[in-house]
Structure 1
């Protein structure tokens, strides 16, 4: 870390060149997986999806992230570029918004960015601008869909988001100083949270909500006002990092698998590659390549009615293989469609030929799952199972 005698501050990355020097640039194929409308495969997924992370800014410009839904098909698709859903909580959403949709038992998520088109009471209508499939790394790192271990408390009883969260056994955490992270229940919840949704905004106001996961705590408290989130290796798209270079305001919603409570947090974020700080988050000697340092302005734990109603932590709600399109096969279809009109990507005819081979989807899934496991081992995870049917 670098700083003065009075304060020690992690070195910060402040330009796109600095971020790309650490993270790298995404391959052309990664960007070609993005489409601008919900096709038949996306609509089939949404019909089965019971829960989504949702990021927005309210009428006062306050950043917020929460989980919405509660039942399969909670999002109504009016057209390939328009959807609506219910957001029965305070904070009028305005302008750009973003989702990622979770299918219980499935590794990949569907990400959707857009803008609020109308709001009538709790009913919120969104115009879709961007759609793509996000890889399973965050789900796999967090083991989101695996049953809670014997040391973890059972899922909380259903409670409205406005209710005080039930008291549960949480890890004992000592937080230095004062600030939002010292509020009752916050530090203990964070110590047990393995998964979160992070919302950021770009220079044009566009919104992006992405999943983050880790095997232990997905975020670590430095003091009563400061949080650090490791940024481990992925597809190098790094939308959140690039957004924070232009607008440092962010919000997040963290989950503990098996519980129905949500930690809501907002503040300002910065990117660091400080070796000393990254080393504290190393796995088997492998540190993350970067981290987000968050100056926390607000943090609280509440109940979340959509999570409780979705029963997402129970195995009988997990989506059975073959009942929805394979998300990576869907990403391949998007890639093929875009490759026909783009330069620098793989030839569209080759992608179509590969996709037409009998059993190609199954073979690609096996290869991808192997790549996931290899990538996790390189990050330092030493307990990656030889196979995991939660990545379909």
Structure 2
């Protein structure tokens, strides 16, 4: 399929959608970022793609200037796929979310990895600070409509399953990695989450 064929299939972009993109964080963007508790970061090494979830209490992403925001990197499994990608190809995309708000905020820009102790120290939690912080210089910022979260019932408790609908994390990893270990209850996994969040 060609770009012209795709555009013919979908029709022209609406004037409102075409003009909603801004180049800096205005007061609405700042307000959204200050209240966001979850984001998804998309990175690439120039060939392959990765998407990484990040979350913390509201305010964990900091607007540093009209053009830049800071995102702390919390402890994980040390794959650091996204960080490695940024070293090779610093263009990134971010989607930020606020619980109960259907709309999301999107940021496309250029990332750099900071390990400055003063900057990392600003994001300390319980006496522990991140090893690195991402600074993202925004190229495009815009609010995205809430149709997808509404269709998904993301914030509607009536659509949520009454019990966990999939295997536990450890069961999935055991089977994917072909490990000869006993299954660990999801409650134990969640206890471990709480112990190692920061």
TM-score, length of structure 2 as denominator length: 0.84
Matched residue count:
188
Task: Give me the whole-angstrom Cα distance separating, in 2, the residues matched to 1:206 and 1:214.
Answer: 27
Corresponding residue for residue 222 of structure 1:
64
Task: Give me the whole-angstrom Cα distance separating, in 2, the residues matched to 1:239 and 1:261.
Answer: 28
- Please, what is the CA RMSD of the aligned residues? 2.8
Equivalent positions of 1:182-197 (< 5 A) are: 182=26, 185-197=28-40
1:181-219 deviation line (CA, Å, top 9, x unaligned): 12x51111011011011000014x101111011112241
Is 1:286 the counterpart of 2:128 in the alignment?
yes
Distance change in 2, residues 1:331/1:287 (3 Å): same
1:286-321 deviation line (CA, Å, top 9, x unaligned): 211111011111111132211112121122222232
Task: Give me the whole-angstrom Cα distance separating, in 1, the residues matched to 2:18 and 2:139.
Answer: 22
Corresponding residue for residue 181 of structure 1:
25
Where in structure 2 are there 5+ consecutive unaligned residues? Answer: 11-15
* Cα drift, residue 121 of structure 1: 4.8
Give secondary structure in 2 for the equivalent of 1:190: helix
* Cα drift, residue 248 of structure 1: 0.4
Task: Give me the whole-angstrom Cα distance separating, in 2, the residues matched to 1:180 and 1:235.
Answer: 33
Give secondary structure in 1 for the equivalent of 2:43: strand
1:141-160 deviation line (CA, Å, top 9, x unaligned): xxxxxxxxxxxxxxxxxxxx
Is 1:236 the counterpart of 2:78 in the alignment?
yes
1:106-165 deviation line (CA, Å, top 9, x unaligned): xxxxxxxxxxxxxx957xxxxxxxxxxxxxxxxxxxxxxxxxxxxxxxxxxxxxx95999
Task: Give me the whole-angstrom Cα distance separating, in 1, the residues matched to 2:17 and 2:159.
Answer: 25
Equivalent positions of 1:15-26 (< 5 A) are: none
Task: Give me the whole-angstrom Cα distance separating, in 1, the residues matched to 2:9 and 2:176.
Answer: 35
Distance change in 2, residues 1:257/1:308 (3 Å): same
1:12-57 deviation line (CA, Å, top 9, x unaligned): xxxxxxxxxxxxxxxxxxxxxxxxxxxxxxxxxxxxxxxxxxxxxx
Corresponding residue for residue 50 of structure 2:
208
Give secondary structure in 2 for the equivalent of 1:298: strand
Report which of the two structures shows the higher radius of gyration computed on alpha carbons: 1
Corresponding residue for residue 13 of structure 2:
none
Task: Give me the whole-angstrom Cα distance separating, in 1, the residues matched to 2:50 and 2:42.
Answer: 6
- Runs of 4+ aligned residues of structure 1 deviating over 6 Å after TM superposition are none
Contact 1:196/1:252 (8 A) holds in 2: yes
